[in-house]
Copies of this chain bind each other. A is one copy, B any other.
Amino acid sequence: MSESSDIFAGSTLQTADLKPFQILAPDGRPVREELIPDLEIVEELYRRMARARYLDDKFMVLYKSQRLGNYAQFGGQEASQVASAFVLKAKDYVCPMYRNTAAMITHGWPIEKAILYWRGHPDGWRIPDDLNIMPIIISIPGQIVHAAGVALGIQAQNLGAVALSYIGEGGTSQGDFHAGVNFAAARKAPAVFIIENNGWAISVPRKVQSGVDYLMRRAEGYGIPGYLVDGNDALAVYTTAKKAVEDARVGNGPSIIEQLTYRVRPHTTGDDPKAYRTEDETNEWIANRDPIKRLKLFLEYEKRWNDDREVAMQAEIETEFTAALEAADHAPAPDPMALLDYTMIEPTWQLEEQRATLQARVAAEGGAA
């Protein structure tokens, strides 16, 4: 692919052919035996991915019965999110976007909070005090720049932590993707940027976003490592994220990891992909490249898994989720004052006036305020 014009000494064009890094083939067989992590870890990854999948399935059900708002599903991207967030320590920060529920619960977000968040309940918006998760960002791709800033703050305070941020392949077309990554790279700040290339930005296919074959080639332009990874191979994701995070932690600066995966589900629960892509394409990924199935097959080959364990695990997952749902269902009705709380630490008189208006409106409705 390299343009070796003999005239232009200094020209470049996609100088290296790239293949996504894999440890497990889609059928679960190791292709890089020597890189298999400790099997305890593999098992734990499997459990957490299964747990995430269960949540994603349940959220769809809750949405359909109007017990959840419009929700951005991650189903099919469990390896990509879980196996990467899994490498973090508690002191590390996740800077999430809307599709990162799996990464967030992996970093410790309580499922109950996730339910409340996607119900638009104030208690869901509150990030628990001990959790280093930044607010979910909807305006694409603010989180990338915030992550660079978190990394700057980590660096300045010598916290020994890392900021991990995610972005969709569509989001990489935004100017801020560039501005944020470049800033972090220029200052060697401890950030890791994961591009979850799930093939689609709502209805827009990957190829519309850019003329380049792989988006991690952008790393070349920042002087930082870029990794191309099979994003449905949990072990490849884990291994790469671990390297990138530890590199960042020791002061080697940021990396970009492109994880090739697929959004097998609609963009959000409100979307219908039939309008823009074939079911065949989707079904192929579901049938042959499911990240959870792949890991399970591997564990089965390794004799680390069987039906009994599966059944027990699923029961555990269900119990946990059911308890979380119950807790969420019992959350008090949102306090209407939440509309104005937290706008400012020192509210303006205008906000105080509006608070009085709000109180009056609530009272008129027979509310509590």
Which of chain A's residues 133-177 have a Cβ closer than 8 Å to chain B?
Answer: 173-177
* B7, B21, B178, B222: the one within 8 Å of A9 (CB): B21
Given contacts A8-B240, A223-B14, A226-B12, contact A186 B210 (CB under 8 A): yes
Cα–Cα, bound, A12→B16 (Å): 8
Among listed A85-93, A213-221, A335-343, interface-contacting one: A213-221
* A182 interface residue per 8 A CB criterion: yes
* A10 interface residue per 8 A CB criterion: yes
Give me the 10 closest cross-chain CB pairs, A-B, nearest first.
Answer: A175-B175, A10-B228, A178-B178, A218-B221, A212-B223, A211-B223, A175-B179, A185-B211, A220-B220, A15-B15
Cα–Cα, bound, A22→B258 (Å): 36
Chain B min CB distance to A35 (Å): 7
Given contacts A209-B186, A211-B185, contact A226 B13 (CB under 8 A): yes
Most buried by B among A10, A182, A223: A10
* B176, B214, B222: the one within 8 Å of A211 (CB): B222
The residues of A with any CB-CB pair to B shorter than 8 Å are 3, 7-16, 18-22, 35, 173-179, 182-183, 185-186, 188, 208-229, 239-240, 243, 253, 258
- Report 20 cross-chain contacts, Cβ distance below 8 Å, ordered by A residue: A9-B20, A9-B21, A10-B227, A10-B229, A12-B16, A12-B219, A12-B220, A12-B225, A13-B223, A15-B220, A173-B182, A174-B175, A175-B176, A178-B178, A186-B209, A210-B221, A211-B224, A212-B221, A217-B221, A220-B221
Residues of B within 8 A of A176 (CB): 175
- CB-based contact B219/A223 at 8 Å: no
Chain B min CB distance to A235 (Å): 12
Most buried by B among A22, A175, A229: A175
Residues of B within 8 A of A14 (CB): 220, 223
Chain B min CB distance to A275 (Å): 22
Given contacts A173-B179, A174-B179, A211-B222, contact A217 B12 (CB under 8 A): yes
Q: A218 — nearest CB in chain B belongs to which residue?
A: B221
Given contacts A179-B175, A223-B212, contact A10 B15 (CB under 8 A): no
Residues of B within 8 A of A188 (CB): 211
Cα–Cα, bound, A22→B10 (Å): 9
Residues of B within 8 A of A16 (CB): 12, 15
* B9, B13, B185, B210: the one within 8 Å of A210 (CB): B185
- CB-based contact B13/A219 at 8 Å: yes
Chain B min CB distance to A11 (Å): 5
- CB-based contact B227/A8 at 8 Å: yes
- CB-based contact B226/A215 at 8 Å: no
Cα–Cα, bound, A22→B7 (Å): 10
Q: A175 — nearest CB in chain B belongs to which residue?
A: B175
Cα–Cα, bound, A186→B223 (Å): 23
Q: A11 — nearest CB in chain B belongs to which residue?
A: B227
Cα–Cα, bound, A185→B226 (Å): 20
Residues of B within 8 A of A239 (CB): 7
Given contacts A174-B175, A179-B174, A210-B186, contact A225 B21 (CB under 8 A): no
Cα–Cα, bound, A178→B12 (Å): 17
Cα–Cα, bound, A173→B222 (Å): 10
- CB-based contact A10/B20 at 8 Å: yes
Cα–Cα, bound, A39→B225 (Å): 45
Q: A184 — nearest CB in chain B belongs to which residue?
A: B211
